[in-house]
Structure 1
Amino acid sequence: MPSARVGEARYARCHPPWRRSVPELPIRRRAAGRLRIWAGAVALTTVAALVVMPPASAAAVVPAPESATLVSANPANSTPHARDGETRAFAQIGDLVYVGGSFTQIRQTATSAWTVRRYLFAYDRTTGTISTTFLPVLDGAVNTLVAGPNGTLIVGGAFKNVNGVSRKNLVALDPSTGEIVDSWVGRSDGGNVRDLALHGNQLYVAGAFNWLNGTAHAGLARLNASTGAIDPTFTVDATTGRHDTSSYVWTIDVSPDGGTLVVGGNFLYLDGLPRNQIGLVDLTGTPSVIDWSTEKYVPPCAAPETFVHYVQDVKFGGDGSWFVVGSNGGAGWPAAYCDALIRFETAARGSGQLATWADFTGNDTITSVEVADNVIYLGGHFRWLNNPNRSDNAGPGAIDRLGIAAVTPATGLPVNWNPRRSGGSSLPSGASSWGSAVPVLWRGSDGLYFGHNSDGMGEEYHGRLGMFPLAGGRTITPKNAPTETTGNLYLSIGAATLAKVPFDSANLGTPTTVSQPNYVGAGATWRVADRIYWSRAVAGTPTGSRIDISLFNGGAIGASWEASGYNDWFNAAAMTGAFYLDGRLYYTRTGANALYYRYFEIDGNYLGATEFALPTTGVTWSAVRGMAWVGGRIVYGATDGTLRSVPFDPTAAPAVDGTAATVIAPAAPGLSWSTPSTFFSVQ
């Protein structure tokens, strides 16, 4: 049969040797109050390239933060260890966890003797004890595992023989003994299997093959999961490799409803239609390529001879309405989505699709992604996230995340979870502290399993694999601006003094004066849940100001603390008004006539490194002084002392139409709405 087999050397090219070197590691953590001193204060207006949101015929997607459950940042102590190569796949059947990869030896503990066990083994997830009855013998690496129907373990990889019998690249095993299930007929005689995805009794197969079960299929096929028989109705091929190489599919995932397949890899066409590295397939009827494409994976990034393709992993999130893509590629962003985590919307249609959000590492690889419990986990050899402004260094906004991270689906910003891919001083002799890849992150029944090509995680020894347990994790409860339409507007009227003005979203009541001794040196202020965030003048900081937090429930404003030391590059004092809504900090700033936003993650109080300008008309934003969001409207003051409101819809273009603005109140003696220190609170 013809073959377009891509061997281990080809797959290795996606993790090139020059990127496997140990980078200069960042500092371990940055506590609030610790400052990075840049060469001079970084002005708000010059930190990052401004991104202007273009007008759109369809509504923009503005995901709202949702409740999420994080796994513990402390890896389980009971998992066994592997040696050499890497762990690439996990599956679970009952209490047994199956581990596949290119490793050659395993052991129970850090002091146990090594045992030769190549490419595949199992252990009890409750005790960590390695199985002595599951003993398959393979002659090549395992790339992917699936717990199949009828008590089978389906294995895909780069092998020719299993238990001394010819079973090329695809086989079903008895999960108790590792014996071949002879009745299962799936074979990949034409090349390696890279990925498997199961939905119901439909098994999707991806890899570097041109033939499956003796039938011509290029890179993609669908089997009956119970029997291994080919599904003749699935005929979507991935063809024509980039840069004159052989084509292959590297990664796939199926939406939870089984209706959509996302495909990533080294190809230019899906079913004959142009789809460079990535595409979507409709599975609801006869499988067909969806009218969805993006040009952001067309450019070659750093070096096409090294990064033949740079889509590394794909995963649907939540209900399948969105998916994420992790990539490598080196330099080339933002023209291309190189070295980035990207969110796309599944229902979008047409060419030229752009990210809902993008999180750039600053020239470091992402090799795996997993989505579970409203959290996106990612692994690789990155050192930072939120780092679009530097290459191979930490730029303004960069957040230290060494090789493993968790981000929110709403914005792509990290949450406060940072175990670090490091063994610290606990590594035994001969162990590797750092490697080029985390090939797999996988959510099992009891936690997040990780496979990597090094031996340290969470400052502990975890040779080639481990697990972050659900036990000991925590729930993230989203915080937002007040949703009520009746409350109080607060306005600074002097040092440590606020006017408290009743407000029902249309009319003002009689103001009272409130002394707030902790509210000194205040600028733009915004309310979120039980606290206020505010720009505070602080001598000795890089910009002379910072974002602080104070607890506030209508009484005394509490003593403030720095929101995050990662935000010290940001000139908070330049904001002339601000409010928070659904993961975004909206603001105006000195000398600029636009309404801007940055992503802002409340869980870690991290500020996005990229500034966006919303499309608006009819409002002179350069004159705005103080803002609040109340009941779907922006309530804002101005240099003329007048208080106005205008409807606000961040999904629309324009998001603000100034012709719909109304005057709430003109300036009055002792109460001029012309200060950035304005916010709305129910209390």
Structure 2
Amino acid sequence: MTARKALLSLLLGTALATSLLVPAASSPASTPARVAAVAAQPPAAAQTGRIVDDDPAGFTPHVMDGAVYSMTRIGDLIVVGGSFTRVRNAGSSTDIPRRNLFAFNAATGQVSTSFAPDPTGTVYALEPSADQQSVYIGGSFSSATSAGSAVSVSNLFRADIVTGNRIPQFQTGRLNGSVRDLALSGNRLWISGKFTHVQGTARRALATVNASTGALDPYYDRVIAGVHRAGSVTNVLQIAISPDDARLVAIGNFDTVDGVRRHQLAVLDLGPGAATLADYRTTLYESACSSSFETYLTDVDWSPDGTFFIVSTTGAYGGYSASMAGTSGCDVVARFERGASGSAVTPTWTAYTGGDTTWSVEVTDDVVYAGGHQRWQNNPGRGDAADEGAVSRPGIAALSTHNGLPYSWNPTRTLGVGVRDMVATDQGLFVGSDTDVFAGETHRKVAFLPLSTGNRLPARRDGTLPGEVYRVATAQSQLLRRSFDGSQVTASSDAPNGTGWGTVVGAFMVNGDLYTAYGNRTLTRRSFDGTTYGAPVTINTADQIVYQDDWHNGDVPLVTTLFYDRGWMYFTKLGSNRLFRRSFETESGVVGQQRFSVDSVPGVAYGTMRGAFVADGQLYFASSDGSLNRATWGIHGALAGTSTTIAPSGSGWSSRAMFLFQGAAQP
């Protein structure tokens, strides 16, 4: 253990121990005490504006064989399920027998000496009870150990978190197939998997039982049918309930719900009396993908605020055209908005790896942690090889929730099959996998990445008026500045010229940084406070493996307008009447490889646009006739029929670059 690691472990252990529900003195670290009754397992910790450290803490235990499939937090414990036989405390050379299930202290990493239910088969799913005194355990097994004796359990049971003993009041009877996921909503436990009957009653792939007694709950009785791949078994492999308990997303190998097409993904409305099928269908997962998979959907997770959910997949490379267009469901992480509806819901963004699987996603306010055996991110252009835009992110990545691009965070890990589960807490991120090396260090199957020593992410701020508008007139080289409140235009004055404005083709500002695109095919960042310019930095992160020729040669030299809004660069091009966009992550400097575009709309002709910015939900734009105009800004484009002229033609607003000043964000 390095000196830094030792200090980190000491500080983290102290901080965690003082923040847990039970004082450390009440019980030895290896034998968990009862925790106070609190609400059920919350959604992933928000971790607002933060990203975890890329250097794992040194205290987590080792899983000496097999693989981890599931993890959950209960009070001061992390419970781990999978397929394994031996674990070991950090710094120890002594193996501890633990068959497929164990628990360890979240602050010290010490394996619980009393929690050892030892189910006979693989544990795929874990869910804390509402009172945090027990855990529901699902998988593929027929018995477990309770009070020193083997007891019969059929793929699902509930165990005391201190003793590991089965809680006899919870009896689900026979499930004739494996349980793959669990979710608690009030006193109702949702069960998903590869079964057809629960307690002798037909409930294919998805069911609800009473969380106290295990009795079948009639709340859910929809009929799931069909398959993605012919000859396979209908199943639901993952489920996720929104933080307000109002919606459930189910993914797996199915085609219909109550006879209505919902291929591999269905959304249920959780009403007061019964679960009903929501008006929410996407065709993204009707892509064929590789026939090797009965279903290629792998995980789903809600955002902490419940406004969107994230889905990950396997499936092999989905082809150039579909991946560039964002219409392939293969080997991709995608964001879906809760507020969408209808028969053709499309994702907000799609993040392709180039043919590698993402097995698990964990969502915080600003980060999608994506784990699998991926080698790259931002790689839609080629299968099983890096193409333009690709950045190396072996085994785990942190994607922006806003645009799907990777942050600079890149701990690396040996790939194996991949990361199968992650748990975000107020203290950091726990990661479970089937491999032993994380960030170049030995962390067998389990790693913890602390939040306290992680980085703060750049603030996300929208443009606002009144403000200072800077511009360089068409064919000119002097930067001008004027105050603007959205309607009244003041006289302009010369601003300091600290860059080669005569060759600039577009500019925008984000958090005190000025981004300028040049006719020489480059994009540059430098600080700017309205007077002083910082040293220039070339934006080339996405060029490090394969030069991003499509961006540098196909877009930048032809730009006639450039502006930024909420994680995306928007631009017009010489000879085109369309508005183009690419995602852009300012924290990492990654330019998205996918390029999208929309047509001009009545009142807004993109072909004649010459300078623009977005502020307060409005697009302010200059035209080649010298006018200044305003239109309502929608989703990736201006809304038709909303354009208003602020300054008439001949007013001299046509610009080679225009931007709204935005100072550095305050800490």
How has the CA–CA distance of structure 1 residues 135 and 575 changed in structure 2, closer, same or farther, with 3 Å as cutoff? same
CA distance in 2, matches of 1:658, 1:273: 38
**1:482 corresponds to 2:474:** no
Structure 2 partner of 1:174: 160
Question: Could you tell me which of 563, 575, 578 is aligned with 1:579?
Answer: 563
Per-residue Cα deviation, 1:285-314 (whole angstroms, up to 9, x for no partner): 311211221222123212x2x111111111
Which residue pairs with 1:344 in the alignment? 336
1:546 aligns with 2:530: no
Aligned with 1:413 (options 395, 405, 415) = 405
Cα RMSD after superposing both structures: 2.5
Q: For 1:81 and 1:558, how far apart are their aligned partners in 2?
A: 47
Query: Equivalent of 1:621, from 595, 606, 627?
Result: 606
Partner of 1:604: 588
CA contact (8 A) 1:627 1:676 kept: no
Relative to structure 1, is the Cα distance of residues 155 and 532 closer, same or farther in structure 2, using a 3 angstrom cutoff? same
- CA offsets 1:602-658 (integer angstroms, 9 cap, x no match): 222322211221343244433333323355444444445x13213132239863548
Is the 2:459–2:511 Cα contact (8 Å) retained in structure 1? Answer: no
Question: SS of the residue aligned with 1:614?
Answer: strand
2:197 aligns with one of 192, 208, 211: 211
Corresponding residue number in structure 2 for 1:49: none
Describe the SS at the equivalent of 1:586. Answer: strand
CA contact (8 A) 1:66 1:478 kept: no
TM-fit CA distance, 1:249: 0.9
2:517 corresponds in structure 1 to: 535
Q: Provide Cα deviations, 1:401-458, integer angstroms capped at 9, x if missing partner.
A: 112112222222222322122xxxxxxxxxxx43022111122453211111111112
Question: Identity across aligned pairs (percent)?
Answer: 32
- Which secondary structure does the structure 1 equivalent of 2:191 belong to? strand
2:210–2:217 CA contact under 8 A, matched in 1: yes
**Distance in 1 between the 2:388 and 2:561 partners?**
22
Aligned position for 2:392 = 400
With 111-120 and 651-660 compared, the bigger mean Cα shift is at 651-660
1-side partners of 2:494 and 2:474: how far apart?
9
Distance in 2 separating the partners of 1:185 and 1:66: 37
What corresponds to 1:268 in structure 2?
Answer: 255
8 Å CA contact retained: 2:350, 2:404 = yes
1:675 CA displacement: 4.0
Q: Mean alpha-carbon deviation: is it higher for 394-403 or for 199-208?
A: 394-403
Q: Which residue type is aligned with residue 299 of structure 2? A: D
Distance of 2:171 and 2:333 partners within structure 1: 37
CA distance in 1, matches of 2:477, 2:592: 30
Indicate how the Cα distance of structure 1 residues 502 and 637 shifts in structure 2: closer, same or farther if over 3 A, else same: same
Q: Helix, strand or coil for the counterpart of 1:154?
A: strand
Deviations 1:126-180 (A, max 9, x none): 2111122222222111111111145212110111111222111111112112222
Maintained 8 Å contact 1:441/1:448:
yes
> What is the Cα deviation at residue 218 of structure 1?
0.8
Matched, 1:308 2:288: no
Following superposition, the deviation at residue 339 of structure 1 comes to 0.6
Within-5 A mapping of 1:108-187: 108-109=89-90, 112-150=93-131, 151-163=133-145, 164-187=150-173
Show the counterpart of 1:298. Answer: 286
Q: Structure 2 vs 1, CA of residues 517 and 93 (structure 1 numbering), >3 Å: closer, same or farther?
A: closer
Given that residues 224 and 231 in structure 1 are in contact (C-alpha distance below 8 angstroms), is that contact kept between their aligned partners in structure 2? yes
Q: Secondary structure at the match of 2:575?
A: coil
Matched residues in 1 for 2:610 and 2:636: separation?
Answer: 24
Query: Are 1:523 and 2:505 an aligned pair?
Result: yes
User: Is the Cα–Cα contact under 8 Å of residues 202 and 225 in structure 1 kept in the other structure?
Assistant: yes
What displacement does 1:318 show? 3.0
CA distance in 2, matches of 1:611, 1:100: 41
Deviation, structure 1 residue 599: 1.7
CA drift of 1:485 comes to: 2.9
Map 1:503-514 to 2 at 5 A.
Answer: 503-514=484-495
Q: Shift of the alpha carbon at 1:476? A: 2.4
CA distance in 2, matches of 1:278, 1:391: 25
Structure 2 unaligned spans of 5+: 1-45
Matched, 1:320 2:306: yes
Please give the secondary structure, in 2, of the residue aligned with 1:482.
Answer: coil
C-alpha change, 1:232 and 1:565, in structure 2 (3 Å) is: closer
Matched residue, 2:657: 677
**TM-aligned CA distance change 1:349 to 1:147, over 3 Å:** same
Counterpart CA distance in 1 for 2:389 and 2:173 is 49
- Report the 3-state secondary structure (helix = DSSP H, G, I; strand = E; otherwise coil) of the residue aligned with 2:495: strand
Give the conservation status (yes or no) of the 8 Å contact 1:327–1:339.
yes
Deviation at 1:586, TM superposition (A): 1.3
Shift of 1:190: 0.5
| CA displacement 1:580-599 (0-9 Å, x = unmatched) | 11222111122322111222
- CA 1:81–1:208: 2 relative to 1, 3 Å: same
Structure 2 CA distance for partners of 1:492 and 1:113, relative to 1, 3 Å: farther
- Counterpart code for 2:534: G
Match of 2:242 in 1: 255
2:282 maps to amino acid: T
2:47, 2:471 → 1: CA distance?
A: 28
The 2-side partners of 1:536 and 1:67 are apart by: 35
- Structure 1, 607-616 or 205-214: larger mean CA deviation: 607-616
Deviations 1:314-358 (A, max 9, x none): 111133222111001112252431111111122322212211211
Query: In structure 1, what is the equivalent of residue 536 of structure 2?
Result: 560
Structure 1: 5+ residue runs without aligned partners? 1-64, 422-432, 538-543
Task: Give the residue type in structure 2 aligned to 1:395.
Answer: D
Question: Contact 2:47–2:426 (CA<8 Å) still a contact in 1?
Answer: no
Alignment-derived partner of residue 331 in structure 1: 317
SS of equivalent to 1:545: coil
Which residue is 2:628 aligned to? 644
My pick for the range that moved more, 489-498 or 409-418, is: 489-498
Normalised TM-score (structure 2): 0.84
Separation in 1, partners of 2:606, 2:373: 42
Amino acid at match of 1:331: Y
Is the Cα contact below 8 Å between 1:100 and 1:143 reproduced in 2? yes
Q: Letter of the 1:185 partner, please give it.
A: Q
Cα deviation, 1:656-677, whole Å, max 9, x if unaligned, reads 548644534625xxxx544422
CA distances 1:437-488 after superposition (whole Å, capped 9, x unpaired): 2111122453211111111112211111122122212332424453113423
Instruction: Name whichever of 125-134 and 328-337 sits farther off.
Output: 328-337
Q: Distance between the aligned counterparts of 2:286 and 2:245, measured in 1?
A: 28
Change (3 A) 1:449 1:280: same
Indicate conservation of the 8 Å contact 2:465/2:484, yes or no.
Answer: no
Whether 1:590 aligns to 2:577 is no
**1:462 is matched by which residue type in structure 2?**
H
